[in-house]
Amino acid sequence: MDTKALATKIAAAASDKKAKDILLLNMEGLSPVTDYYVICSASNTTLVRTIADNIEDKLGEAGAFPTHKEGYQDSRWVLLDYGDVVAHIFLEEERDFYNLEQLWADAPSEAFVESEDAE
């Protein structure tokens, strides 16, 4: 699976659990660490955890597993590192505070919109 497809699969799994404002940032050429960030928000910590769990479940079914996971216990900002793609699941207030979109403003970005024919 290429990195864009992986990022899209992560975004779709987040969308399945009602993540808000899902954004894909293309980090190729900007970050030596990863090719894509997938950023999304949730209104409460339970939902942050649910979104993170669903991403892990759906990607696990496809044979992809995070190499690193952090923030799950507090569930204010959960990071799931899939190597070439890093998922950031934020509590809304945390996303506003850390504002990764502004920090990486040079990165081409696109909002995730689930298509009708998505799996």
Q: What is the pLDDT of residue 113?
A: 86
Q: What is the pLDDT of residue 15?
A: 97
Q: What is the pLDDT of residue 117?
A: 46
pLDDT at 1 over 90: no
- 50-97, pLDDT tens digit by residue? 999 999 999 999 999 999 999 999 999 999 999 999 999 999 999 999
- Cα dihedral 94, 85, 112, 119 sign: negative
Band (pLDDT 50/70/90 cuts) for residue 114 is confident
Q: What is the pLDDT of residue 115?
A: 65
Question: What is the number of alpha carbons within 13 Å of residue 47 lying toward its C-beta?
Answer: 15
Distances (CA, A) of 57 to 15, 21, 28, 35, 103: 14, 21, 26, 22, 29
- 12-48, pLDDT tens digit by residue? 999 999 999 999 999 999 998 899 999 999 999 999 9
Domain ranges for the chain: 3-105
The answer to whether domain 3-105 has CATH 3.50.50.60 is no
- pTM, 2 dp: 0.92
pLDDT at 119 over 60: no
d(CA 64, CA 18): 22
* DSSP secondary structure letters along 45-70: HHHHHHHHHHHHHHHHHTT---SEEE
Cross-strand pairs, 38: 24, 87
